[in-house]
Amino acid sequence: MSRLWILSALFCVLLQLSCWKGGEGARGDFCRPELPGCCPKVVDHVLLLHIEKTGGTSLRTFLQAAVKRRFQQGAICNYLRYMPYQCLPSSTAGGNTSCNARNFQYYEQAISTGSHFKRSCKLTSSHHDFRIIDALPRHVRNTTLLIVNLREPASRAVSHFYMLRRHQDPGAINSTILDYFLGNPVGVSISRNRMTRVLAGEFCCKDGVPVSYDKRELLDLALTRLDQFCVVGLTSRVQDTMLYVQHVLGLGTERTPKNLHYHNNAKKYEPVDELVLQQMREANALDVVLFKEAEQRFNLQMQSIGRGASREEGGNSNGPQGSQQGV
C-alpha cells in the first residue's frame, strides 16, 4: 500500500470528522460526512454544473460575488482555459470521432491532475456534463461544493427554443418548437431529456459513440448523481437557491441576495398552447421525473434553513410564461 494512498485516505477521514462536527452555525442536514465539500469548514472550491436555460447565468453571477466574500482571494475561473464552455451534444446517430476532443483533453491534462485548481480557481462552471465532475481528483472533490439548477422540462424547452431563435439558429428560425425539438435530429439531440443526460454524464458527445435519449438507466444514474450535489436549485426559485448557497458557504441567511442578472425574456414569447407543453413533457419524460425529485430535494433544503413557500413573484414552475429567472 503506497504512502500517497495512505495520506489521501487519512486526509479524507479528517475531512469527514471535521464535517461531522460541523462548522459554526452548521447544521447536520447539509454538513454531511459523505459530502465533505458541503461543509463550510472545508470547502475550497465551487463547481456549478450549468445546464442550459435553467437560470445558471443568474446563479453564476451571484456566485462570483459570494465566492469572493467566502474566500477573500483566488481566481473566478468561470470559463475553463483552452476549452469551449459549450460541448457538442451526443446523438442517436453517433458523430465525429473527434467531437469535444479539446474538452476531454483538458479533463485529462488539467482537471484530473489538479493543475486547473493550482491556479487558485475558486469558481468553475461550464455547459458540460457530469464527466467534468468525475474527472476531479479525490482531494479536490472532497473540498468542492457542487451546485446544479433544474427547471420544469417544458418551460426549459420553450426557453431554449426561443434562445436559439434569438441567436439565429437556422433550425429554430424555420421551424416550430414541436418540429425542431421532436422531429429534427439536431433539435432532438440538444433538447431531449437534456437535464437527465447532463447529470448521467451522457450529454456531451465522446468518440462519436451513438447514445439513447430515453433509456431508464439514464434516469437511474441521474437520480443517483443528483444526491451528490450539495445544492440542488430551482429556476423558479433562484433567489432562494442563492440563499441556500450562502448558507452552505457559511455566509448566513439573514438577507436574501439580489438577482443581479434578472431578465424576463418570457414576456416576449408568443402564447404556448397547453397541448404543445404537454407534448414537450411527454417527450422529456425522464426530465419530468428528475425535476420532481429535485423539487423534493429543494424543499428539504429550504426546511433546513427555516424557509417554506417562495416569496418570489411568478415562481410557478409549471409553465414557461411565469416570471422565470435568467430565461
Query: What pLDDT, in 10s, does the model give residues 195-213?
Result: 999 999 999 999 999 999 9
d(CA 212, CA 158) in angstroms, rounded, equals 22
Give kind and range of the element (H or E) at residue 125.
Answer: strand 121-126
Q: Cα(78)–Cα(176) distance, rounded to whole angstroms? A: 33
**Distance between CA atoms of residues 116 and 110, nearest Å:** 5
Q: In angstroms, rounded to a whole number, what is the distance separating the alpha carbons of residues 93 and 165? A: 24
Sheet order of strands, 231-234 included: 75-77, 121-126, 45-49, 144-150, 231-234
Q: Does residue 145 have a pLDDT over 80?
A: yes
Phi then psi for residue 232, to 5 deg, are: -110, 105
Q: What is the pLDDT of residue 33?
A: 67
Residue 253: φ, ψ to 5°: -125, 20
Look over the chain and give the mean of its residue pLDDT values, rounded to a whole number. 83
Cα 302 from chain centroid? 18
- Pairing outcome for strands 231-234 and 121-126: unpaired
User: Does residue 245 surpass a pLDDT of 80?
Assistant: yes
Separation between Cα atoms, residue 204 and residue 82, nearest integer Å: 17
Query: Which position has the grid cell 429567472?
Result: 325
- Report residue 270 as a C-alpha cell: 408568443
**CA 56, CA 99: separation in Å to the nearest integer?**
24
* Alpha-carbon separation of residue 132 from 14, 68, 247 (angstroms): 25, 23, 25
Instruction: Check residue 8 and give its pLDDT.
Output: 47
Residue type, 235: T
Stronger pLDDT, 40 or 140, i.e. the higher one: 140
H or E element in which residue 24 lies? none
Assign 231 to helix, strand or coil. Answer: strand
Mean pLDDT, to the nearest integer, of 155-178? 94
Question: How does pLDDT run across 55-90, given as a tens digit for each residue?
Answer: 988 998 999 889 989 988 777 776 676 678 889 999
Helices (H), 38-142: 56-71, 101-106, 115-118, 131-134, 138-141
Q: What percent of the chain has pLDDT over 90?
A: 59
Q: Write out the three cell numbers for 268.
A: 416576449
* Per-residue confidence band for 265, with pLDDT thresholds at 50, 70 and 90: low
Residues 38-304, CATH architecture: 3-Layer(aba) Sandwich (3.40)
| pLDDT, tens digit (0-9, with 9 covering 90-100), for 7-52 | 444 444 444 444 434 333 334 445 666 777 788 888 899 999 999 9
The residue assigned the cell 437534456 is 194
pLDDT digits (tens, 9 = 90+) for 83-111: 788 899 999 999 899 999 999 999 999 99
Distance CA 90, CA 106 (A): 19
Which pLDDT value is given to residue 260? 60
Residue 321 Cα to chain centre, angstroms: 22
Q: Provide the pLDDT confidence category of residue 309 given band limits of 50, 70 and 90.
A: low
Which of 293, 295, 296, 292 has the alpha carbon at shortest distance from 281?
292
Instruction: Check residue 256 and give its pLDDT.
Output: 76
Instruction: Provide the grid cell at 225.
Output: 448523481
What's residue 76's pLDDT?
A: 77
